[in-house]
Amino acid sequence: MITVSNLTFGYKKGRPLFENLSLYLEEGHIYGLLGKNGAGKSTLLKNLAGLVFPQEGELDVNGHNPSQRRPSFLSQLFFIPEELFMPAITVRGYVKNTAHFYPQFDREQFENILLEFNVPADQVMSRLSFGQQKKVMIAFGLASNTSLLIMDEPTNGLDIPSKVQFRKIIASALTEDRCIIISTHQVRDLDSLIDQVIVLHEREILLNKSLDEISDKLLFLTSSEANGRNVVYAEENMIGTNTIAENLYQKFSRVDMELLFNAIINNHKPLTEILNR
């Protein structure tokens, strides 16, 4: 569905944010795009959405070159940016004015998600709180049923119960012909939601793997459980040490997303070596 080939992009000439970056994403998955502040997550997503243009390399999104921003491309893409600019119309008015751009828009689904998020549809959007505005756009994006849904830091501004609802609602909206990309620097927000992890760090994609592949090759353990195992990364916390070991005997452990992220950005080589075996 998405092929990024040798993408080079920078805001200033001579100082690329990405150089020769390549990536392949498929439908039927929820991708978590993880990276520290300033890693370039938003910029990569803007390239995919055709909001900024590559300096070199090629992008193919749903068979389109995003920079051409053809109507057939835009009707299958919904992009929720990090910063929202809300019009001074009601939520229902917004749906009336905008939903027709998305042929698969489902009003009932939209109303149900709003109800679940507890956001009134008769409110003027610009007067909603930031968290409520995010919820409206998440509901709209999901109900648009576009084949590609991109959400840039969607959990910013959501309170803890809303983050739980967010995970539940997103998981239920995934279909086989849809690709959802969610960027965040708050790695834990995507726990038990994403099934593919992409880590962007210092101009490179350091990881693009499914959680199944990761838990197949790596074990996430406490220090006592890790005794005698082939530990590749360890991190102390308040209650002990968390470790990542090579999964030599087909055991199962739940992927600790934050530990994985820290391991990848601190010393990715031993981990990627195991993951690529």
Ligand X SMILES: Nc1ncnc2c1ncn2[C@@H]1O[C@H](COP(=O)(O)OP(=O)(O)OP(=O)(O)O)[C@@H](O)[C@H]1O
Catalog residues that contact ligand X under the rule CB under 6 A. Answer: 11, 17, 35, 37-43, 82, 153, 185
Cβ at position 81, least distance to ligand X in Å: 10
DSSP 263: H
Classified as helix, coil or strand, 204 is: strand
Cβ at position 82, least distance to ligand X in Å: 6
The residue type of 141 is G
The residue type of 57 is G
Cβ at position 133, least distance to ligand X in Å: 17
DSSP 90: B
Cβ at position 114, least distance to ligand X in Å: 26
- The residue among 62 and 156 lying less far from ligand X, judged by its C-beta, is 156
Cβ at position 47, least distance to ligand X in Å: 10
Q: Residue 195, Cβ neighbours under 10 Å: how many?
A: 15
Q: Residue 146, Cβ neighbours under 10 Å: how many?
A: 24
- The residue among 11 and 252 lying less far from ligand X, judged by its C-beta, is 11
Q: Six-digit token pair at 239?
A: 């209650």
- The residue among 137 and 232 lying less far from ligand X, judged by its C-beta, is 137
Cα angle 129, 130, 134; round to 5 = 115
Cβ at position 24, least distance to ligand X in Å: 20
The residue type of 227 is N
CA-based nearest residue to 26, from 183, 190, 180, 173: 180
Cβ at position 241, least distance to ligand X in Å: 28
Rounded Cα distance between 217 and 191, Å, is 19
The residue type of 62 is N
- The residue among 15 and 277 lying less far from ligand X, judged by its C-beta, is 15
Place of tokens 């995010």: 134
- The residue among 46 and 135 lying less far from ligand X, judged by its C-beta, is 46
Contact 11, 32 (CB under 8 A): no
Contact 47, 7 (CB under 8 A): yes
- The residue among 64 and 185 lying less far from ligand X, judged by its C-beta, is 185
CA-based nearest residue to 265, from 29, 43, 40, 35: 35
- The residue among 46 and 209 lying less far from ligand X, judged by its C-beta, is 46
